[in-house]
A and B are shown apart, each in its own frame.
Chain A
Amino acid sequence: MFDYNGVPSKEMVSSVFPSEERINKGPVAVIECYKEIPCNPCATSCKVGAIKPFDDINDLPDINHEACTGCSVCVSACPGLAIMVIDGSKSDESIVFRIPYEFSPLPQENEIVDGLDRFGKKICEVIVLRVQNLPYQDKTPIIHVEVAREFLYDFRNIKVVK
């Protein structure tokens, strides 16, 4: 279906996720880039060498989740907004997601917003922990939200309800 509706299957999604053990250690990037396109800023922006330099500009990203520090530089560098950072170290009940979000109004810290899946369907409510909007991100803010752990493989977006 991916070629017909743009929504990756559950198998595709889980294939790019780190192990739960790694997720529970601290922040780590998840790269949802499933098709080879001529694009490499994820690799060139990675300061710790966790995303392997490309031999060919059409390569798919190859990330070593153990080496990734979850610094999130790649999140706002990716032209496809295909990267998020997840962190399961804070609680057994929840995961902190850091997602790129380029819409206004931006949510506020402590605001409750709708949590959406990859179809844009509301699956939960989430709380905004932080809105990171620094000059180097060049208008691709990163929103930190706390999401119930059961939605680890489903949560992907937020909707600010005004």
Chain B
Amino acid sequence: MKTTDIVIVGGGPAGLTAAISAASSGAEVTIFERSPQIGGQLIKQTHMFFGSEKQYASHRGFRIADYLLDELNKYKDKVKIYKNATVLGIYEDGVITVDLDGEYIKMLPKRIIVATGANEKIIPFPGNDLPGVYGAGAVQTLMNVYGVKPADKVLMVGAGNIGLIVSYQLMQAGVEVAAIITDLFITGYHVHASKIARMGVPILSGYTVKEIVGEEQVEKAIIAKIDKQWNIIEGTDIEYDVDAVCLSVGLSPLVELLGQANCELRFISELGGYVPIRNLDYRTTNENIFVAGDITGIEEASSAMVEGYIAGLTAAKDIACIHDDYENKISDYRNQLDGLRSGPHSGRLRQGIEKLMGGNK
């Protein structure tokens, strides 16, 4: 049986920073990443990030993946990275199984950090199974990873940060955005909304998708106003001739592996769905398993990176690989998270974390 100190499931922002922390503490690390590329969602983020210098604010997301890989490369004798490697299961005896490029392998690590991220949600409406109805993240991957123009004209559903920024990137790719609609109001950063509005794209609040029409694929989107009970108000239809509809209606944490590994989960809608019970060290109720990133609750990549740094330090300490500057680093990272989460924009997130952690956050 292959062994290693720490297995990290997922090579996105949280997984990479967890690996940096663990390797710099002296632990041997193996990263399994499902995709052919390392970096998770970072590699398709062509916009500049928010946050502070410590989270690479004002740098474009795809560059941050490179910075993290460069940093990780300093510990290359301690770190193994496998791409096209899907972790299939975590078993009671601590063995994990992996589909590595079609080969089935088993490994027994001392600790596991699960940083699998999240899935896009979808909403029901007539025609939502037509080709041309996409998740906004999928469209971003098509454009920014594979260089494929996803459509000529798009309706964006959802005005959170993903809906807003993907709309902007669609326009940069030469795709027309007919409108952005949202049920209540803009939930993303207003600076994003303003820069799209001044491109001439209307942001319509209080609307939902009534129906998507098309024979073989999306040909038309019909939206309508909704009342306070979310009922469609008759006579408020607006029709758009579009060949794609992008859904940006939220994300849910990818917790299936944790469920299988007997980590206790709790449903907290403010955090996106089922999330693991965890402590301040990002340890789950299975003492050998730690978590970081969107799997702990949906947030920005800046927070995911900081959580990864923490989980890497704490998991390594657990196997007596203690970073020289452990106490200072942990307290700095906790302060960074508190700062990122303390603003008026993070009210719902704070409520969710409060429900999860009680007073102990």
- Chain A residues engaging chain B, CB cutoff 8 angstroms: 2-8, 32-41, 44-45, 56-58, 77-82, 102-104, 116-121, 138-140, 156-157, 159
Contact = CB atoms under 8 A, between A and B. Distances in A.
B342 to A, nearest CB: 6
Given A58-B343, A79-B58, A102-B172, A39 B51 contact: yes
B203 A6 contact: yes
Contacts of B52: 38-41, 44, 57
Contacts of A58: 339, 342-345
B195 interface: yes
A58 B302 CA distance: 14
B196 A6 contact: yes
A120 B194 contact: no
Contact of B186 (A6, A37, A77, A159): A6
Given A40-B57, A44-B53, A57-B343, 10 more contacts: A3-B205, A4-B205, A6-B193, A6-B194, A7-B198, A35-B190, A41-B48, A80-B50, A120-B201, A159-B200
A3 B50 CA distance: 20
B44 to A, nearest CB: 15
A5 B57 CA distance: 26
A136 to B, nearest CB: 11
B185 interface: yes
Interface of B: 47-53, 57-60, 171-172, 185-186, 189-206, 302, 339-346
A140 B47 CA distance: 10
Contacts of A57: 51-52, 339-340, 342-343
Given A5-B205, A6-B203, A120-B201, A38 B343 contact: yes
A120 B186 contact: no
Contacts of B196: 6
B172 A118 contact: no
Determine which residue in B186, B194, B202 has the highest number of CB atoms from chain A within 10 A of its CB, and name it: B194
